[in-house]
Amino acid sequence: MAYKGKYKVINGQKYKGDCTKVIYRSLWERRFMIYCDTNSSILRWSSEEIVIPYKAPIERKTRRYYPDFYIEVKRSDGKKDNIVVEVKPKKQTQAPKVQKTKTKRYLREVKTWGINSAKWKAAVKYCKQRNWRFLILTEDQLLSNYKPL
């Protein structure tokens, strides 16, 4: 079951964008929003404000990818990092295992994997051009009180 809702930003001065329209699409995203909003090392953050063009693998058309988060982080050495973050269930970050029987579920997983891979490849390129980092966070990192510093 997917959990969606509107997040009420606590520190509006840290949010880059319209802080009255922040939507989470999973409880993992909500957890990361709270982390960004309350962590003093996060200087600025936004949710789905960056647009990255990518080539859709099936239609072979250019589409737009809105990564979950953008954060500006003050590192312990005083320097600043810019990080684009995607929050995904661990299962969706791995290629589906090849199956002899091509069920609807399997075909959906293959399609999802192909689309996600294309998005992430475009995001890596986008970030590299700006000297930023791209991270994919799963429940493993979010449950361990992830610290991107």
Give residue-wise pLDDT tens across range 34-47.
Answer: 999 999 999 999 99
Looking at residue 149, its pLDDT comes to 44
pTM: 0.88
Is residue 110 a part of any domain in this protein? yes
Give the pLDDT score at 145: 61
> Is pLDDT of 97 > 60?
yes
Mean pLDDT over 63-88 rounds to 95
Do the domain assignments include residue 148? no
- Is 69 a member of any domain? yes
Identify the domain containing residue 85 by its residue range. Answer: 5-143
What is the reported pLDDT for 143? 79
> What CATH number should be reported for the domain holding residue 94?
3.40.1350
> Residue 17 falls within a domain, yes or no?
yes
- Which has the higher per-residue pLDDT, 78 or 144? 78
The letter for the amino acid at 115 is I
The alpha-helical segments, DSSP class H, found in the chain are: 27-38, 104-130, 139-143
87 vs 31: CA distance, rounded Å: 10
Cα Rg for the chain, rounded, in angstroms?
Answer: 16
12-42 as b/e: b if 16+ CB within 10 A: eebbebebeebebebebbbbbbebbbebeeb
Q: For the chain, how many structural domains are there in total?
A: 1
Contact 4, 30 (CB under 8 A): no
Contact 22, 9 (CB under 8 A): yes
